Structure 1
Amino acid sequence: MPHKVTVGLDGSLESSAAARWAAREALLREVPLCLVYADEWPVSAAMPVDRPGAQREWADELLDAAAGELRQSYPSLEVSTRRLSGRPAAALSIEAAEADLLALGSRGPSGVTGFLLGSVGMATICATERPVVLVRVPGNPGGPAEPPPGPPSGDVVVGVDIHHSCGSLLDFAFDEAALRGGRLRAVYGWSLPPFARDASALARAEREMSPNVARRLTAVLAPWRERYPSVEVEERAPIGGPSQQLVHAAAGAELVAVGRRIRRSPLGAHIGSVAHAAIHHCAAPVAVVAHD
């Protein structure tokens, strides 16, 4: 499989932010960047529909302008463009299958349309087994600050499940931390059993259970620590809901990685509560990584 980073564009500020993030990611990985647009993207105010062929002309101009801007900002980056046929989620999932990762813009919980709450992003996440990264506009409320020039150096946060295998997720998270030369914060949130009804019982249960939970988290991470000796790992196993603890731990992170269990059933796919919370409440880009 040829290595590359792919980003979906639709003319929004969010997709432009995703393209800039994807360009920096491609440089880190030393791979090309591919900008794509799907012909059947829902019509928006920014998109012309006044005559036949206008949307395609607009899409080609959008791709050319974005590619030109990125080539100027990152002269060493190889940038290509593709206009896709078909519905966005299906077309993007096909493109994602041939990439290291797919980046999409995200308006977060306050938007009405766009990749995420317009369902394109969520459908794409569920349709592909490649990592999908949702990126917000830097400087907007709830979004990250614009990163400084040069290679990034922030922490990567990963939500770990000590009860189920999540090898693909940990592969991705350790790779990203190694690329950045940053620290990996591995987080597992857990709750005390319901039988601990009073303060003394809660304190006793916490004392008895916390060391075992911490040991299990250490055991899960041990093979990756051995494979990535250069990555500094901070293990966190706080008491509390996994979603809340991950969002709390992600404050100030450069990238958040969460897992999505691959479900092959007639009921369809969904991303799970932890991934859903991270996408909606983490300011940093959120990578959703499928795993068995």
Structure 2
Amino acid sequence: MERPVVAGVDGSAESLAAVEWAAREAELRDLPLRLVHAWNWNPHPPSDVPAGVTAAGAAQRVRARRMLDEGESRVRAVCPRVPLTADALEGPASAALLGAAKEAGILVLGSRGLATVTGIVVGSVAQNVAAASPVPVVLVSTGVLDESPASSRGATVVLGLDLADPCDEVLDFAFAAARLRGARLRVLSAWRSPALYTLGPGELALAEGPRRGEEWRGFQDAVLRPWRDKFPGVEVVGTVVEGRPATSLLGAAGEAGLVVVGRHAHEGHVLGRHNGPVTHALMHHARCPVAVVPHP
């Protein structure tokens, strides 16, 4: 049995946007959807807990159920036929979500969310989980709420392809996502000219920008060739630019339905690891969903 799409719910606008996106993704993939809310026991529950509930733990369970009910309502409004379950998980949010990821095919989170106790807007949970999840994590911002339910279909998928480390897991996810949506796949790779002092004997010719750019374009074509054959129905547009990859990807994200990037997976998936600069920039500034795909 295929693993479900799992979406985290914390009551924030971003998490509700993530729930709606996850529902549509589950429908596209013909998979069930599981909503999860993680909560910590707190002796001083939030003020919006009903006055008649006196036990702090019970009060927080009531609040968790309320958030899950709101998430379920969003799902039923956009994808009423998607098989749906909802669970409250006790424990620190990042650890609980990583536990849920072990049974997921894809984990979907709001790019920013609400702190459990104070309500301060933070992004630490999404960052921690994206950096340590064993499965792809899709980060969704509130901008997705402004889109129509069918907006994911036909919208361009952008793949940030690191030509120094082209990984099958990332390529497969991006091509499959484009095929699923009937979308064009734009593959964007960035390169930077080496400083003269880093070049070895006989390498000075590589410092010439036009020639080096052509070499990178040829390398990208070679990497993509077997994937074009594997996914013949996907229209692929390859682009190689000189400069910082984060800048180029953020520009491309403005007209994309999904951006896909990779990150190195680490044995044990320990919390506290950090995302790379490209993923970090996309998490904070991209308006479209960002998929972070782990690879060896």
TM-score by length of structure 2 reads 0.85
SS at match of 2:242: coil
User: For each residue in 1:111-143, what CA deviation from the matched residue of structure 2 results, as whole angstroms up to 9, or x when unmatched?
Assistant: x944xx4411111122312111111112xxxxx
Is 1:55 equivalent to 2:60 in the alignment?
A: yes
**Which range moved further: 90-99 or 180-189?**
90-99
Q: Does structure 2 conserve the Cα–Cα contact (< 8 Å) formed by 1:11 and 1:46?
A: no
Structure 1 residues 95, 31: CA separation in 2 closer, same or farther (over 3 Å shift)?
same
User: For each residue in 1:57-97, what CA deviation from the matched residue of structure 2 results, as whole angstroms up to 9, or x when unmatched?
Assistant: 11112212321342243222111101112211111112112
Q: Percent identity?
A: 40
Structure 1 residues 264, 5: CA separation in 2 closer, same or farther (over 3 Å shift)?
closer
Q: Does structure 2 conserve the Cα–Cα contact (< 8 Å) formed by 1:225 and 1:231?
A: yes
Structure 1 residues 249, 44: CA separation in 2 closer, same or farther (over 3 Å shift)?
farther
Structure 1 residues 113, 221: CA separation in 2 closer, same or farther (over 3 Å shift)?
farther
Match of 1:164 in 2: 165
Q: Does structure 2 conserve the Cα–Cα contact (< 8 Å) formed by 1:34 and 1:79?
A: yes
Structure 1 residues 152, 47: CA separation in 2 closer, same or farther (over 3 Å shift)?
farther
Q: Which runs of 5+ in 1 are unaligned?
A: 139-143
CA RMSD of aligned residues (A): 2.8
- Map residues 166-205 of structure 1 onto 2, 5 A cutoff: 166-195=167-196, 205=208
SS at match of 2:241: coil
1:274 corresponds to which letter in structure 2? V
User: How far has the Cα of 1:46 moved from its partner?
Assistant: 7.6
- Map residues 45-84 of structure 1 onto 2, 5 A cutoff: 48=49, 51-52=54-55, 53-84=58-89
Match of 1:213 in 2: 216
State the number of aligned residues: 278
Match of 1:95 in 2: 100
SS at match of 1:35: strand
Structure 1 residues 96, 41: CA separation in 2 closer, same or farther (over 3 Å shift)?
farther
Name the CA distance, whole Å, in 1 between partners of 2:271 and 2:132. 14
SS at match of 1:55: helix
Match of 1:248 in 2: 251
Q: Which runs of 5+ in 2 are unaligned?
A: 114-118, 198-203
Name the CA distance, whole Å, in 1 between partners of 2:252 and 2:272. 30
Instruction: Decide which of 99, 122, 126 is 1:121's aligned counterpart.
Output: 126
Name the CA distance, whole Å, in 2 between partners of 1:174 and 1:67. 30
User: For each residue in 1:25-59, what CA deviation from the matched residue of structure 2 results, as whole angstroms up to 9, or x when unmatched?
Assistant: 11110111111011228999686397321110111
Q: Does structure 2 conserve the Cα–Cα contact (< 8 Å) formed by 1:134 and 1:286?
A: yes
SS at match of 1:15: helix
Match of 1:141 in 2: none
Name the CA distance, whole Å, in 1 between partners of 2:11 and 2:108. 14
Is 1:276 equivalent to 2:277 in the alignment?
A: no
SS at match of 1:80: strand
